[in-house]
Amino acid sequence: MDTAPDQPPKRGVRVGGDPARSSGPPVPRARAGHIFLRACRGEPTESTPVWLMRQAGRYLPEYRAVRERLSLLDLCKTPEAAAEVTVLAVDRLGVDAAIIFADILLPAEPLGVGLEFVEGEGPVIRRPVRGPADVDRLPVVDPLARVPFVFEAVRLARQALAGRVPLIGFAGGPFTVASYLIEGHASQDFLQTKAFMHREPAAWRALMEKLAALTIAYLNGQIAAGADAVQLFDSWIGCLAPEDYRRGVLPHVRRVIAGLAPGVPVIHFGTGTAGLLELMREAGGTVIGLDWRVDLGQAWRRLGAGVGVQGNLDPALLLADPAGIRQGVRAVLQSAAGRPGHIFNLGHGVLPATPWAHAKAMVEMVHEESRR
């Protein structure tokens, strides 16, 4: 494993194109036969494709250099910079897919809830949603008009990738976005969110319907701009009892997934979802993303035929030595048993303390250990 200090590679990342220009000669998408897209469709591949959630993040020296001059929100709103960090992760790590650099709350900012990103604290909602009147005040938002920088970043990243690997777009799931709007910040217990769901069922349904419509438009905009696949990050649904998910969330997730452009793979991801897997499958998705708290093989058997799985190495293992990382990679691959439809990933995002060389070595190990 490369354990050299964090030094940027000599070859820089170049993102071409005029950010004001959203049309012109077509830029090739990733080939339909790329191993990532084939795995999404459940087809055999010569090795297991791998990418990492938060693969363009604080553990990369180039990303840290960009953040020295741009805040998180400014980075998201600067398409050239967002596309640059999207592509540099591919070049740095050798992964089989890129994911556009953005934040799940970007489409929520135009809702007028006072979104801020506070250093060391994360997203903060200054005007949280706490009752039916707050839901009624949320406007209908056209993401194409209100967050155009996201779609321009997708176009620029697609241009820079030039079809080398697929580009993944993403959005937060309705429950996860709602939890930020209600709690006002990240939460450990989601008590206010769950109380709102039970205390104000009509307002909860109205909120979820608004967020579902926004998510459909937002993801379809990314697909139109060039995303080859999309991931729905309903990251915090694991806090819910199965019946609460069934009644209060599942219909809205199903609506989102059913409303997306046909033929585009959809990865449906959450954490702490061991008790919700069958319900997530019912809600939809080409691929179900698994966190590290479940055995991948057992989870796949519960999900049944006709769906792929993504995951699910514990992100903390990337802090281990090479032997420990390889052991973890082998365990996940053995659990998948070579079954078509497996996409290797972490069970959640790359931890900021992860040495970039460990992430790169893990990608190489997956390719080596899974070669067929």
pLDDT at residue 358, rounded to an integer: 98
3-class SS of residue 199: helix
pLDDT at residue 7, rounded to an integer: 39
3-class SS of residue 312: coil
Share the mean pLDDT of the chain. 92
Ranking 113-122, 172-181, 233-242, 321-330 by mean pLDDT, the lowest is 113-122
- Does residue 128 carry a pLDDT above 60? yes
Phi, psi of 233 (to 5 degrees): -90, 90
- The pTM score is 0.92
Mean pLDDT of 240-266: 98
Contact 153, 101 (CB under 8 A): yes
Phi, psi of 98 (to 5 degrees): -100, 155
pLDDT at residue 22, rounded to an integer: 43
pLDDT at residue 1, rounded to an integer: 38
Per DSSP, helices labelled H in the chain are 35-40, 61-67, 72-76, 79-93, 132-137, 143-146, 148-161, 174-183, 191-199, 201-225, 242-248, 250-258, 277-283, 296-303, 322-336, 356-370
- Does residue 297 carry a pLDDT above 90? yes
Q: Domains, the chain, ranges and CATH?
A: 35-370 (3.20.20.210)
Q: Give the tens place of pLDDT for each residue, 206-240.
A: 999 999 999 999 999 999 999 999 999 999 999 99
Of the candidates 37, 361, 24, 364, the residue with the CA atom closest to the CA atom of residue 227: 37
Q: Give the tens place of pLDDT for each residue, 148-195.
A: 999 999 999 999 999 999 999 999 999 999 999 999 888 888 999 999
Calculate the CA dihedral of residues 187, 277, 99, 320 and round it to 10 degrees: 80
Q: Give the tens place of pLDDT for each residue, 137-159.
A: 999 999 999 999 999 999 999 99
Phi, psi of 171 (to 5 degrees): -150, 160
Mean pLDDT of 317-342: 98
- Does residue 6 carry a pLDDT above 90? no
Percent of the chain with pLDDT over 90: 87
Would you please indicate which residues are annotated as catalytic (active-site) residues? 54, 58, 67, 103, 180
- Does residue 26 carry a pLDDT above 70? no
Mean pLDDT of 42-56: 97
103: confidence class by pLDDT, cuts 50, 70, 90: very high
Mean pLDDT of 29-45: 91
2: confidence class by pLDDT, cuts 50, 70, 90: very low
pLDDT at residue 187, rounded to an integer: 84
pLDDT at residue 5, rounded to an integer: 36
